[in-house]
Structure 1
Amino acid sequence: MSSAPAPLSDGPPPPGRRQRLRARWADRHALPRFGFWLLSRGAAVLAVCAALYVLNGFLIGWGDAYDVLIGITSPATVRPQWCAWPLSLTGWAAVPAVIGAAAGYVITEQIQAHHARELNDVLDELRRLAEPPPPPSSGSGA
């Protein structure tokens, strides 16, 4: 019995999952500044914050962990304190810093998008707007 010959390959095999993930990770540099920052720096900070919150949730309770994170409860009033103090510092410093950085990137991108015009174009438009309006046309409309 003869079997049919295998079809000829038209090129290299399709990339595997690992190669596709590696290519996606390399493509992150093509993202806008905010997207790149969020994937590279922001994700690491948020991961640390989340890990501290989960650790404290299991050790001191979820409600107390939330209260310590946002500053309602002092970390000195919960037990164990060794894990509540880093969570409190994170909620006091790192979370507002991440939110401020994200807002700063978004605002900067919006400002730069509106600065695309040349100064001479802006001055010409301002001069045109500062001119007095032309006199109304005297037409016999009746």
Structure 2
Amino acid sequence: MAQSAPSGFGVPPPPRERLLHRLRRWRLSLSAHHGVRYWTWTRGLPILLAFGALFVANGLLIGWREAYEVTLAITSPADTAIPVLAWFLSVAGWLLAPAAVGAIAGFMVSNAITSRRTRSIEELLGQGERSRDREGGSA
């Protein structure tokens, strides 16, 4: 006995969407997000995944404690079993920590300024251009 569709019309359900199409639809839906959420999904996640893969590779090859110490610049990458791979981890650690702290601080300052601003930046810039025009100056 054939299984019927829930609607009772005998129409089979649509085929499952292919993985490539689902990923494309997910990527296109990211434009609905703004600000930090958009940045996190489009830039932050790939960077974090790449750093995580580099850390796991180093952890498996040179040891987890040594990978941690190389990331934080406690140990020199030249003193490890595989210095070439450890140098990449060391440079990533030097770049990742300041970038993360700077991004968070910049976002917090930007939010604080935006929430206290009574007039939009476009309005303020427009007033400056009008006053220059009245004075007869040009930039």
- TM-score, L = length of structure 1: 0.64
Q: Which runs of 4+ in 1 moved over 2 A?
A: 6-9, 12-25
**Counterpart Cα distance in 2 of 1:66 and 1:103:** 24
**Counterpart Cα distance in 2 of 1:101 and 1:14:** 43
The unaligned stretches of length 5 or more in structure 1 are 1-5, 120-142
Which one of 69, 75, 78 corresponds to residue 73 of structure 1? 75
How many positions carry a matched residue from both structures? 112
SS across alignment from 2:75: coil
Are 2:86 and 1:84 aligned?
Answer: yes
Question: 1:33 touches 1:105 (CA, 8 Å); kept in 2?
Answer: no
> In the TM superposition, what whole-angstrom CA distance separates every residue of 1:19-64 from its partner, at most 9, and x where no partner exists?
5654333221121211111111111211111111011001100010
**Counterpart Cα distance in 1 of 2:34 and 2:116:** 16
- TM-score, L = length of structure 2: 0.65
**Counterpart Cα distance in 2 of 1:106 and 1:84:** 33
The unaligned stretches of length 5 or more in structure 2 are 1-7, 121-139
The aligned amino acid for 1:76 is: A
**Counterpart Cα distance in 1 of 2:63 and 2:26:** 38
Question: 1:70 touches 1:92 (CA, 8 Å); kept in 2?
Answer: yes
Are 2:119 and 1:118 aligned?
Answer: yes
RMSD: 2.9
Which one of 42, 57, 60 corresponds to residue 59 of structure 2? 57
Greater Cα shift, 27-36 or 80-89: 27-36
The aligned amino acid for 1:105 is: F
Tell which has more relative contact order, 1 or 2 (C-alpha 8 A, sep 6+).
1
**Counterpart Cα distance in 2 of 1:80 and 1:64:** 11
